[in-house]
Amino acid sequence: MDGIVGFLSMGGYWPFVWPAYGAAALGLGGLLALSIRWLRANEAALARLERERPRRSVARSGPAP
Amino acid sequence: MLHRFANPARFLRIARWVVPWSASLGLVSGAAGLYLGLAGSPADYQQGDTVRIMYVHVPAAWMALAAYATMALASAVALIWKHPLADLIAKSTAPIGATFTAIALITGALWGQPTWGTWWVWDARLTSVLILLFLYVGYLALWNAFDDPTRAARAAAVLALVGVVNLPIIKFSVDWWNTLHQPASVLKIGGPTIHPAMLTPLLLMALAFLCYFITLLLLRVRGELAARKLRALQAARAEG
C-alpha cells in the first residue's frame, strides 16, 4: 500500500507529473479517436455514393438489348 | 521513386500493411517506455521525480520538429513535382504536429514550474516552439481559407516552406542565446550525456511517439483520399 502511495505521490511532485502524462494521453488519444471517426465517416459516405452510382447509370442507360 | 507511390490504390495497399505493424510496435514500446520511465528508472538527483516528465516532453518535442520537417518536405514535393499525394500527406501531418507541439509546451510548463520556479519565460527556445505551434495553426487555417483545394494547397505549402527557417532556430536556440532551458543531452556531437537508465525509457517512448505518428499519418491520408474521392463524386453527381 505504501509502495502504491509512494509511486502515486511521485516524491511530492504528483501535481506536475500526472497532469503532464494526462495532457499527453488526452492529446494523443483524442486526436486518434477523432481521426478514426472522421476516416470511418468518409469511407462510409464514399461507399454509399459508390453503391448508388452503378444503379443510376444502369437506370439511365435503360435495359440491355 | 516518388511516382511509384503516386498511385492512391498502391499507397492504400502499403498503408493497410504498415498500420498494424506500426501500431503494434508503438503499443509495445510505449508500454515498456511507460513502465521504465515511471517505475523502472531512478529519480534525478536534483530534479527528483519531475524528471519523469521528460519521457513525454522530449519525444513530443522531437516529433513536433520531425512532423514539421515531414510537412515541409511533402509541401516541396507537391510544389515542385505536383505529386498527387504529397499535398494530402502535408495536410495530414499538420494536426498531428500541432498536437505534439501543444503537448511539448504544456508538459514543458508543468516541468518548468517545479524546476525553474516559473511556468513560462519568453526565451528563445520556448518562444520559437510557440511560433512552431502558430505555424501549424496558420497552415491549417490556410487550407480552410480557400474554396479551391489546389489554391489552398499551394498557399499552405508556401507557408510550410517559409516556416522551415524556424527549425534550426528551435534546435540551436539553447546554444545561441541565454536561456533557462537546458542544452541538448541526447542529440549532440560526442553522443548522449544522459545515463542509460534514463536514456532507455526515453528512446522507447520516442519510438512509441514515432510509431503513433506513422500510424496516424497513414490513417489520416486514407481519410483525405476518401474525402477527395467523395468530393469528386458529389461534384459529378451535381453536374449530372
Q: What is the residue extent of each domain of chain A?
A: 25-55
pLDDT of residue A56: 52
C-beta of residue B177 within 8 angstroms of C-beta of residue B123: yes
pLDDT of residue A7: 87
Residue A61 has pLDDT above 50, yes or no: no
CA distance B208 to B30: 5
Single-letter code of the amino acid located at B27: L
Q: Which of residues 142-201 of B touch A (CB under 8 A)?
A: none
- Put simply, the answer to whether B49 touches A10 (Cβ < 8 Å) is yes
Closest residue in A to B96 (Cα–Cα): A31
CATH number of the domain encompassing residue B183? 1.20.120
Instruction: Confirm or reject contact between A32 and chain B (CB < 8 A).
Output: yes
B59 domain-assigned: yes
- More confident call, B188 vs A16: A16
C-beta of residue B180 within 8 angstroms of C-beta of residue B55: no
Structural domain range at position B90: 19-239
B170 domain-assigned: yes
CA distance B8 to B2: 12
CA distance B91 to B151: 13
Residues of chain B with pLDDT under 70: 1-6, 184, 186-190, 240
What number of other Cβ atoms are within 10 A of residue B236's Cβ? Answer: 11
CA distance B18 to B214: 9
Residue A41 has pLDDT above 90, yes or no: yes
Q: Give this prediction's pTM.
A: 0.90
- Put simply, the answer to whether B49 touches A23 (Cβ < 8 Å) is no
Instruction: Confirm or reject contact between B50 and chain A (CB < 8 A).
Output: yes
Q: Testing the interface with A: which of B19, B22, B99 to mutate, by most A Cβ within 10 A? A: B99
B161 domain-assigned: yes
Q: Which of residues 81-100 of B touch A (CB under 8 A)?
A: 95-96, 99
pLDDT of residue B17: 93
CA distance B57 to B37: 12
The string of pLDDT tens digits covering residues B204-232 is 999 999 999 999 999 999 999 999 888 88
pLDDT of residue B193: 75
pLDDT of residue B211: 97
Instruction: Confirm or reject contact between A31 and chain B (CB < 8 A).
Output: yes
Q: How many domains does chain B have?
A: 1
Strand partners, B210: none
B68 domain-assigned: yes
B186 domain-assigned: yes
pLDDT of residue B3: 64
pLDDT-derived band at A65, boundaries 50, 70, 90: very low
B6 domain-assigned: no
